[in-house]
Amino acid sequence: MLGAGLDTYAYRGALREQLRMFEVDHPATQAWKRERLTRADIPVPPALTFAPIDFERQTLEQGLMAAKFDPSLQTFFTWLGCVPYLTEEAVWSTLQFVASLSNGAHVVFDYADPPASLSPEARASHDQPAARVAELGEPWLNYFEADKLRAKLLGFGFREIEDLGPRQIGSCYFPSRAVSAPEKGGHIVHAATIEQAPVERRSCNLRSSRVMGRPHGEADAPPRIQPRPRPHPFGDLAYRRSISNFQSS
């Protein structure tokens, strides 16, 4: 879980005893979370490893290797609510590392279209929270155009790329609101370096709109991915969740 924040999946998820999980976050944020866990008397699961990383000062590879991450295992990375706060250099470095894992990897992350491409209504919805987070010292630093981002991901070595924009997210998860969803805004992407068997299709895919992993030793089955977006067109940047078939970061 990249930018894990106060996510609690590792402490309550159905497969928490069958997966090796890593929570990656800024050292200060992670220390604060661990203090809160101690105060709440919530034990740290044996399969969970904390990996404090400042994405702007060290690479994901450096941080995970220090936490004894096994790069030989297929891995699922969730990276929601984090990308907009990073420099492009940090974003590309992280995605390149994910794509470099020899036995395959998946990543789900979110991003937003450039503000200049938004409709007046969507621009107004963007500008207010953007100003608020900037005042708090956490400005949104990057935006991407879908076609250029896809080309970049392909160049890194990702082979399967699914990109859901606001209307696709709305029609799949919030059908009653889909008519009012803007064309431009927040996106959710699933990128994988391995090709998978076809799965049942729905109105939106992201690997059949489910995330499923398998315990060690079970017959091979392709993982299916379902991020669960929030209703705001730019997403609730607090939502983070992950699951994988071998190890989760």
Q: What is the pLDDT of residue 220?
A: 35
194-217, pLDDT tens digit by residue?
977 655 544 465 554 333 232 223
Between 155 and 233, residue with greater pLDDT: 155
- Residue ranges making up the domain that contains 163: 9-248
Question: What single letter denotes the amino acid at residue 139?
Answer: P
Give the pLDDT band (50/70/90) at residue 134.
very high
Residue 226 lies in a domain: yes
166-184, pLDDT tens digit by residue?
888 888 888 876 567 778 8
Residue 4 lies in a domain: no
SS3 226: coil
Integer distance in angstroms from the first to the last C-alpha of the chain?
4
Q: What is the pLDDT of residue 207?
A: 52
Question: What single letter denotes the amino acid at residue 248?
Answer: S
Residue 156 lies in a domain: yes
Flag whether pLDDT at 80 surpasses 50. Answer: yes
Burial of 147 (0-12, 13-18, 19+ CB in 10 A): exposed
User: Are the C-beta atoms of residues 227 and 80 closer than 8 Å to each other?
Assistant: yes
Cα–Cα distance, 97 to 90 (Å, whole number): 11
Residue 2 lies in a domain: no
Cα–Cα distance, 207 to 38 (Å, whole number): 36
Strands 160-164 and 105-112: unpaired
Between the alpha carbon of residue 154 and those of residues 67, 96, 189, the distances in Å are: 28, 11, 13
Residue 77 lies in a domain: yes
Q: Which of 96-105, 157-166, 179-188, 214-223 has the lowest mean pLDDT?
A: 214-223
Flag whether pLDDT at 237 surpasses 80. Answer: no
Give the distance, in angstroms, between the CA of residue 23 and the centroid of all CA atoms in the same chain: 12
Flag whether pLDDT at 117 surpasses 80. Answer: yes
Burial of 110 (0-12, 13-18, 19+ CB in 10 A): buried
Residue 82 lies in a domain: yes
Flag whether pLDDT at 69 surpasses 50. Answer: yes
Mean pLDDT of the chain: 81
Flag whether pLDDT at 16 surpasses 80. Answer: no
Residue 1 lies in a domain: no
Question: Which residues have C-beta within 8 Å of that of residue 24, sequence separation ≥ 6?
Answer: 1, 2, 3, 4, 51, 52, 53, 60, 63, 64, 249
55-64, pLDDT tens digit by residue?
989 999 999 9
Q: Residue 192 belongs to a domain with what CATH number? A: 3.40.50
Cα–Cα distance, 107 to 91 (Å, whole number): 12
Q: What is the pLDDT of residue 147?
A: 95
Q: What is the pLDDT of residue 54?
A: 93
Which whole number is the average pLDDT over 23-46? 95
Q: What is the pLDDT of residue 206?
A: 57
Between 67 and 171, residue with greater pLDDT: 67
Q: What is the pLDDT of residue 173?
A: 82
Which whole number is the average pLDDT over 12-22? 83
Strands 75-79 and 247-248: parallel
The candidate with the shortest Cα–Cα distance to 145, out of 168, 113, 122, 117, is 113
Residue 231 lies in a domain: yes
Flag whether pLDDT at 230 surpasses 60. Answer: no
Number of domains in the chain: 1
Q: How many CB atoms lie within 10 A of CB 35?
A: 10
